[in-house]
Structure 1
Amino acid sequence: MRWFRVHNYFESLRPLYLAIKLLHFHFETIDFSTQTLHRTLTDQFRFVFTLLLDCYLVYKGIQSTSTFLYLTDSNIVNGGCFSALILAFLFGLFMAPKYRLRTQGMFEILTNIAEFDGQLRSLGLHIDHQRHHFISTVSAGLWMTMGLFVLIITGTNRTSEDWLDLSEMFPDWISILAMCRSATSLGIFTCYITMTLYSLKTGFDQLNQAIAKHLNITPQAINRIPRTSRQTCQVVRKIASLHDLLSDTVELFNECYYTQVVHALTAAFDFTIFSIFSVIHSNAGQTDEVTLRVTWVNAMFDGFFVVYTLQLIVAASIVNETCKRSSVMIHKATAYGRYDRRVVKELGTFSYQLYHHTPKVTCRLFDLDWTLLYTMAGSFATYLVVLLQFDLANLNGI
């Protein structure tokens, strides 16, 4: 028997909530007993203090890391890496205000999922909150170590005798703290939206199980479930209501996070391009020791951006595929089920609605799916070739 038990969806998110509040990214208090949100005087003070601290760290961080502009023998590497650092610093700066402005919408996402879980029990299914709590704890712990890792690497390698001397790239502790704050912001944001997407995916999975349990979705399942037409209509309406609730939650997710997703993806794409370019540049010809050191540092930090991009796109793609599976199952129930006229009308209306509108995880500019990953890979190769041509022209003195 486990030493703790999780009874509802809100309790399963408690570790992640505590981590976000501890790192000063969440400035409201959640009452887990009543599942309500309120703002205290302490929360107000924490928000003002965090905003002032972030502004100071970003200003001093950009000022200190301006050495990137003349650190290596390539102006392209210098300018590209510095621009990516600025985007990363600004992401950390805008994190707290964005959370403050979107708090009600973010909390509504949680209440919708909790309401879905409560209504799902009427269909004989439920979400495994114990598993959700475990994944939330592990995910928050792993991503919180991101800022700690950056702090250890940048804070300990400060002399020329170290294999990775970072004293020229991050000359003082202000720049180190600014980088740690940005890394922690990206890690916590990735953890939070990934857990939200996981909750949506779990909800659609449970809904699909309810469809398979209560409706005939294959020719072999015809007349397998004896039920009156009135009961079947009630089941179809309940499934449609739950699907509509999850669809609204997906749309609310897009509304709350699209600006942060675009910002983080832009920073990740920028930093990845110039990191790979610096690796090619430093190994294609004779370069000094500083350029090689910057190349390895960029490649190491770029790993965080790559993990963020892959985790976001994979999680969003899985949610989109699960949404489509719900639509397909309803279409099959309409095609294979032998029901009376009232049930057929209910299923037909629901199927027609899903045929014309299936919820998707998007950031307004593009859908977050596998197509985006392929597009980013193609664009990455194109921009990399262009940068290499410029670099070759500079080496030839053109």
Structure 2
Amino acid sequence: MTLMYVRLRFKKVNEIITIRIRKRSILKSTSGHDVKLIKEVTDRLYHLCRMHYKLCHLMRELNKTFAFQLLCSLAVSMGDVLFQSYYLYHLLFNNVPNVTTTMILCPIAWLVDEMVEIFLLVRSCASSCESANTTPILLHEFRNELDNIEIESHIQMYSLQLLHQKIRVSALGFFDIDYSLIYSIVGAVTTYLVIFIQFDQQTSDIKLYPVGNCSGP
């Protein structure tokens, strides 16, 4: 819930900046003569950048607080996906007797639940970071559309400050939580699942064709 609030605040900041960009024609028409309007814009930019800085600080504190929990949650979810996938393979391809529909549907439901949980977690973190890191880009677009040197200098200073406030959410520093994490999890689960299946097949071959002990004279 807190992360959702922070994301909405970032979006609000970006929305206000976008509105200012749409009103660039007013700033162009002033050509530096409307001192009141220039002061209004610079003051608004200052407050927006201060708000952005505080939100970035809040995001970092949230990441520090919940980093271990994120790591454990993702590790448990990945383990559940792996073992439920292997269990489903075992039921379908190893001629298990008395397999019922419930026995098949339970691991499928568990798999779907864990995958949805991972996706929602990644989506929440990635969208928050994207909203935060979009602000300096919008400021640069704003700056490129202006003819006022004073406002341009303020925007350049603020945008450089915000570029150094790039936000990312990580699981205790081991990896970043973004959409690439989903591909990494899918690749890791697939790799370990193939290894488990190979071990299972080797075990079955040993049971079918046991190797006898040959004792010498």
TM-score interval for Structure 1 and Structure 2 normalised by the shorter chain: 0.7 to 0.9
Question: What residue is the counterpart of 1:187 in the other structure?
Answer: none
Deviations 1:326-360, CA, capped at 9 Å, x for gaps: 1210111222222233x333211111122233112
CA contact (8 A) 2:28 2:148 kept: no
**Which amino acid is the alignment partner of residue 232 of structure 1?**
V
Percent identity (aligned) = 18
Say whether residues 1:329 and 2:131 are aligned partners.
Answer: no
Q: TM-score, with normalisation over the residues of structure 1?
A: 0.47
Deviations 1:74-122, CA, capped at 9 Å, x for gaps: xxxxxxxxxxxxxxxxxxxxxxxxxxxxxxxxxxxxxxxxxxxxxxxxx
Alignment of 1:29-108 (within 5 A): none
Higher RCO, 1 or 2 (CA under 8 Å, sep at least 6)?
2
Say whether residues 1:299 and 2:105 are aligned partners.
Answer: no
Alignment equivalent of 2:17, drawn from 211, 232, 245: 211
Query: Is the partner of 1:228 in helix, strand or coil?
Result: helix
Say whether residues 1:234 and 2:43 are aligned partners.
Answer: yes
Question: What residue is the counterpart of 1:282 in the other structure?
Answer: 91
**What is the distance in 2 between the residues matched to 1:222 and 1:303?**
52
CA contact (8 A) 2:86 2:196 kept: yes
CA contact (8 A) 2:85 2:111 kept: no
CA contact (8 A) 1:217 1:337 kept: no
**Where in structure 1 do 4 or more consecutive aligned residues deviate above 4 Å?**
217-222, 224-227, 290-296
Deviations 1:120-173, CA, capped at 9 Å, x for gaps: xxxxxxxxxxxxxxxxxxxxxxxxxxxxxxxxxxxxxxxxxxxxxxxxxxxxxx
Alignment equivalent of 2:161, drawn from 309, 333, 353: 353
Q: Report the Cα offset of residue 308 of structure 1.
A: 1.3
Q: Report the Cα offset of residue 289 of structure 1.
A: 3.1
Deviations 1:5-35, CA, capped at 9 Å, x for gaps: xxxxxxxxxxxxxxxxxxxxxxxxxxxxxxx
- Unaligned segments of structure 1, at least 5 residues: 1-194
Alignment root-mean-square deviation, CA: 2.5
Say whether residues 1:377 and 2:186 are aligned partners.
Answer: yes
**Which amino acid is the alignment partner of residue 371 of structure 1?**
S
**Which amino acid is the alignment partner of residue 354 of structure 1?**
L
Number of residues of Structure 1 aligned to a counterpart in Structure 2: 202
- Unaligned segments of structure 2, at least 5 residues: 208-217
**Which amino acid is the alignment partner of residue 196 of structure 1?**
T
Deviations 1:217-240, CA, capped at 9 Å, x for gaps: 697675378753322221111011
**What is the distance in 1 between the residues matched to 2:176 and 2:165?**
14
Query: Is the partner of 1:287 in helix, strand or coil?
Result: coil
**What is the distance in 2 between the residues matched to 1:218 and 1:328?**
17
Question: What residue is the counterpart of 2:211 in the other structure?
Answer: none
Query: Is the partner of 1:337 in helix, strand or coil?
Result: coil
CA contact (8 A) 2:56 2:165 kept: no
**What is the distance in 1 between the residues matched to 2:62 and 2:126?**
14
Q: Report the Cα offset of residue 296 of structure 1.
A: 4.2
Q: Report the Cα offset of residue 243 of structure 1.
A: 0.5
Inter-CA distance 355–230: structure 2 relative to 1 (3 Å threshold): same
**What is the distance in 2 between the residues matched to 1:386 and 1:220?**
63
Q: Report the Cα offset of residue 371 of structure 1.
A: 0.9
Inter-CA distance 320–217: structure 2 relative to 1 (3 Å threshold): farther
Question: What residue is the counterpart of 2:199 in the other structure?
Answer: 390
CA contact (8 A) 1:200 1:246 kept: yes
**What is the distance in 2 between the residues matched to 1:217 and 1:390?**
62
**What is the distance in 2 between the residues matched to 1:307 and 1:280?**
21
Q: Report the Cα offset of residue 324 of structure 1.
A: 2.4
Inter-CA distance 300–339: structure 2 relative to 1 (3 Å threshold): same
Query: Is the partner of 1:330 in helix, strand or coil?
Result: helix
Question: What residue is the counterpart of 2:70 in the other structure?
Answer: 261
Deviations 1:184-236, CA, capped at 9 Å, x for gaps: xxxxxxxxxxx22221221111111111223x369767537875332222111
More moved, 237-246 vs 315-324: 315-324
Q: TM-score, with normalisation over the residues of structure 2?
A: 0.82
Say whether residues 1:223 and 2:32 are aligned partners.
Answer: no
Larger radius of gyration: 2
